[in-house]
Amino acid sequence: MVLKDMEEIRRKADCLRSAEEVDAALSRIARQITERLSGTDPVAFCIMNGGLFVTGKLVDKLPFALELDYLHATRYGAELSGGELLWKVKPERSLKGRTVLLVDDILDEGVTLAEITRYCLDEGAAAVYSAVLVDKIHDRKAPGAKADFVGLEVEDRFLFGCGMDIGGYWRNLPALYAMKEHR
């Protein structure tokens, strides 16, 4: 796709949640995370690439000490559908006895989040929590796939903005968009 196509996609897309609604959702889950994790000496992991936007907006709303790191595991890359999990960067720090907070943009089917959670527990984490901006509503979730902290629930459409991309573009949008439905 070329830049001209990207501009056209955004112009035709439906804005599902405004930047103000996204910020309010992040503030709400920040309060919930603070209530649950404050004082637990957590390490928060940004799940790259989608989690970058959400993590950046979320951590400045958390008023307690935490360590911040990243990991990179993906099932999508620049594709529109998921495949096998590919670890690009695993956590380098010891997780033994730690409280872990995984931060990502979206819980779609939940396979990636479930595998990362299992990895953290296998590495000795005392507890693993997950925070996502968006939980997509559908019946294709992996068994037990659930985020502990959810900002927004949205319909099952192809989303972009707020860390989610289309063809590698538009992660930077502060509002949440969906591709037009083809009828």
64-111 per-position pLDDT tens digit: 999 999 999 987 655 555 567 889 999 999 999 999 999 999 999 998
Does residue 165 form part of some domain? no
Query: What is the total count of domains within the chain?
Result: 1
110-148 pLDDT per residue, tens: 988 999 999 999 999 999 999 999 999 999 998 878 999
CA-only gyration radius of the chain, Å: 16
| Mean per-residue pLDDT, 152-169 | 95
Structural domain harbouring 129? 18-156
Does residue 98 form part of some domain? yes
Does residue 167 form part of some domain? no
- pLDDT at residue 183 in the model: 47
Does residue 76 form part of some domain? yes
CATH number of the domain encompassing residue 35: 3.40.50.2020
Does residue 63 form part of some domain? yes
> What's the rounded Cα separation, in Å, for the pair 163 and 170?
8
Length of the chain, please? Answer: 183
Does residue 127 form part of some domain? yes
